[in-house]
Amino acid sequence: MGFPGGALRWLAAAGLLYTSACTDLPPTTTENPLTVPEGRKDIVSVCYATGHSRSDIRAVALEACGKDTVSVTPWRIDEYLNECPVLKKTRVSFLCVKAER
């Protein structure tokens, strides 16, 4: 039992087109892991897909940390059971390093 008139080919082509169009989604911020206490404002998390450079991901984290932040340090990476969308399934959490006053 198959699809009539080559519909399976069109369905497969549409699926590949949809998937390839969504692989270039930019990294975005997301919820922190559950192990982070609520009051911690010095940790930010970023979801990303493969194909993005470390500098792209760090730039998003640096912006999310705020204007007094001079650098970010990777703290935790998780790929399963996180709040990231399906096509950006890796979440990395960064510690924000603030400028000394």
pTM of the complete model beyond 0.85 = no
Inside any domain, residue 81: yes
Question: Residue 18 pLDDT more than 60?
Answer: no
4 located within any domain: no
Q: What percent of the chain has pLDDT over 70?
A: 77
95: how many CB neighbours lie within 10 A of its CB?
A: 17
Pairing of strands 69-78, 28-30: unpaired
Query: 21 or 78: whose pLDDT is higher?
Result: 78
20 is a domain residue: no
Is 60 a domain residue? Answer: yes
Q: How confident is the model at residue 2 (pLDDT cuts 50, 70, 90)?
A: low
Tell whether 56 is covered by a domain. Answer: yes
Over residues 27-70, the pLDDT tens digits come to 989 988 888 888 888 999 999 998 889 999 999 999 999 988 99
Q: What is the pLDDT of residue 22?
A: 52
What's residue 81's pLDDT? Answer: 84
CA 84 to mean position of chain CA atoms: 6
Asked, for residue 13, whether it belongs to a domain, the answer is no
For residue 25, the 8-state DSSP code is: P
Q: Assess if residue 19 is contained within a domain.
A: no
Residue reference for tokens 């998390």: 45
Closest CA to 30 of 76, 56, 58, 61: 61
Residue 79, pLDDT > 60, answer yes
Structural domain of 49: 25-98
How many domains in the chain? 1
Q: Is 55 helix (H, G, I), strand (E, B) or coil?
A: helix
Helix-, strand-, coil-residue percentages of the chain, each rounded to 5: 30, 30, 45
Inside any domain, residue 2: no
